[in-house]
A and B are shown apart, each in its own frame.
Chain A
Amino acid sequence: MSDVRLDAVRKVYPGGVEAVKGVSLEIADGQFCVLVGPSGCGKSTLLRMVAGLETISGGTCAIDGKVVNEIEPAERDIAMVFQNYALYPHMSVYDNMAYGLRNRGTPKDEIDARVKEAARILEVEPFLARKPKALSGGQRQRVAMGRAIVRKPKVFLFDEPLSNLDAKLRIQMRVEIKKLQRALKTTSIYVTHDQLEAMTLADQLVVMNKGQVEQAGAPLDLYEKPQTIFVAGFIGAPPMNLVTVPEAGLPGLTLIERPAGPVVLGIRPEHLHEQPMGPDTLTVEIVVSAVEAVGAETYLYGALHGHGPELIVRVPGRATHAPGQRIRACAEASQLHFFNPQTGRRID
């Protein structure tokens, strides 16, 4: 068992800036937890507090049931993968991976076995004698992960490990990280600002904003039932359409069923259809202003009723729409999200 439990963790920097405002989180043994949020939301600070690289200003952080607030990073039994890899430039790949073990006095033959094993898993065996400088970005990333896994720590911490890679490699490494984590069953905390990465990797997805947890749960739960306007807008690409609808309604927008009072209506671009498909409760009329064809699907951008709020509609395959065209799109009641415009919280 090596769960991580955060209890009302706070970080206040000297000067009074509160980067993390009381985060409570439970990460079960073997779970892959992804912290996601815009830059400056405190997600990296939170991770660094778990690592012991930042002091904890308030609350407790417990790894494996033991409070680690005052424990040095080296004794927390964690391993971290950094965004810029942080490989020791003057050491060979082998030494990079062996360094942490040597410092802990691991016997030589065991170090050798573990490094070779990690190199085999990560397919960096041919590069063991090379210096990091002679490796490509993806290979460096693998070595950085190798350095983490040879230690067999209780918790892996990833700080935006893929953001320095190009798009194609990022997707490939994303899949590999997931596979590796499944195989090793090590509790992991992963920080990213890429919501797609977050959705695909997470067992538990934690959306953070302004130092607080907006919502935590299974990725699809967050997708299907965002609890706040922020989560609704953050999860999903292209983002959910969010329209403030006053009590009196909006021109070009027909809602059959709706909560009383002014609401923020959320509807994902993929849930808007051109053809009515049953008991639709929402109908919108849009004047198309831009057409984005990405191959498998096409995104139509347009303003409600020609001059209202901007909406995005996804249509499958190739679309024949042209800017200036007036279209009508519908959505079912189950796909609609309503939020309180004052509190930003979901109305069920």
Chain B
Amino acid sequence: MVERRRLIDVLPHLVLLIGIAIVAFPVYVAFVASTWDAATISNGQMPLRPGPHFLENYYRTIFIGTSSSTREPVGNMMLNSLIMALCIAIGKIAISLISAFAVVYFRFPFRMAAFWVIFMTLMLPVEVRIFPTYKIVADLNMLDTFAGLTIPLIASATATLLFRQFFMTVPDELVEASKIDGAGPMKFFFDTLVPLSITSVAAMFVVQFIYGWNQYLWPLLITTKDNMQTIVIGIKKMIVTQDALTEWQLAMATAILAMLPPVIVVVAMQKLFVKGLVETEK
């Protein structure tokens, strides 16, 4: 269609702009709040423009932290969160790739049963199995460790399903060509299947990294030591309700910092991410 109506051109943009404003405004307010001092925020007259305390607030947040509530610099919390999110994302991808490989390419007894059991765990997220999982982690002395923080979250039916669907689209002839070329199963897996799955892996990484980064309930249960806190828990702890004064400028700076890594991951992997979800390269 060559001829275009003005209204039809403008309307979608208007709707999109309103949508963006609704989503982005709170983030902007959080950013503004992180650049003023505590007094300006708490007297209820914080202006909607960035204030003069940007460097000071962020320096204090990252390297010193709040004195009373978290007793830990946010830099360390970010590192904890990063380790946790990376372990969960990479672990999930590794395990899912291998289990999908087993389910698709090997004929073993109860293969479909195994697949359905994996499938059913979709209905059992951490929140549902939290007590038994906690008990096991506690009995294995994994409380306050990264192992305890990540291992129970690694098994992933979603990623297994995604990779299974992808592997089913890989032509059988590639397996056969590999067989004739003298590549055993694991060589086929690493030389052909994994390189072909790279876009799906990227998509999965984005999704699972954010999933890991945003974990709240599980770290809350597993970690008790200050130096094991993750940033999401840190934010919650900073917002004190009784007696003490909430240092809002630091809480908001922490919130902004907590948003950054997922944003970086999404932006950096956007192309691969979209490719991995919509296109299959064969």
Query: Which residues of A from 22 to 81 have beta carbons under 8 Å from B?
Result: 51-53, 72-74, 78-80
Q: Are A74 and B173 within 8 A (Cβ)?
A: no
**A104 interface residue per 8 A CB criterion:** yes
Range of interface residues on chain B? 10 to 19
**A230 interface residue per 8 A CB criterion:** no
Beyond A86-B174, A89-B196, whether A53 also contacts B179 by CB under 8 A is: yes
Q: Using an 8 Å CB-CB cutoff, how does the interface string of A85-105 with B read, 1 for contact, 0 for none?
A: 111111000000001100110
| Chain B nearest Cβ from A110, distance in angstroms | 16
| B195 contacts across to A, CB distance below 8 A | 90
8 Å CB contact of B173 from A72, A84, A90: A84
8 Å CB contact of B181 from A74, A89, A90: A74
Which secondary structure dominates where chain B touches chain A? helix
| B44 contacts across to A, CB distance below 8 A | none
Beyond A86-B171, A89-B196, A90-B192, whether A73 also contacts B187 by CB under 8 A is: no
Residue of B nearest to A148 (CB): B180
Q: Are A88 and B174 within 8 A (Cβ)?
A: yes
Q: Are A74 and B180 within 8 A (Cβ)?
A: yes
**A223 interface residue per 8 A CB criterion:** no
| B30 contacts across to A, CB distance below 8 A | none
Measured CA separation A195–B198 after assembly (Å)? 42
**B281 interface residue per 8 A CB criterion:** yes
**A127 interface residue per 8 A CB criterion:** no
| A79 contacts across to B, CB distance below 8 A | 180
| B179 contacts across to A, CB distance below 8 A | 52-53, 72-74
Q: Are A104 and B182 within 8 A (Cβ)?
A: yes
Q: Are A89 and B281 within 8 A (Cβ)?
A: yes
Enumerate chain B interface residues (CB-CB to A < 8 A): 171, 173-174, 176-177, 179-183, 187, 191-192, 195-196, 198, 281-282
Besides A82-B177, A100-B180, A103-B181, 16 other A-B contacts (C-beta < 8 A):
A51-B180, A52-B180, A53-B176, A73-B176, A74-B183, A80-B176, A86-B173, A88-B192, A89-B196, A89-B282, A90-B198, A90-B281, A100-B182, A103-B183, A103-B187, A133-B281
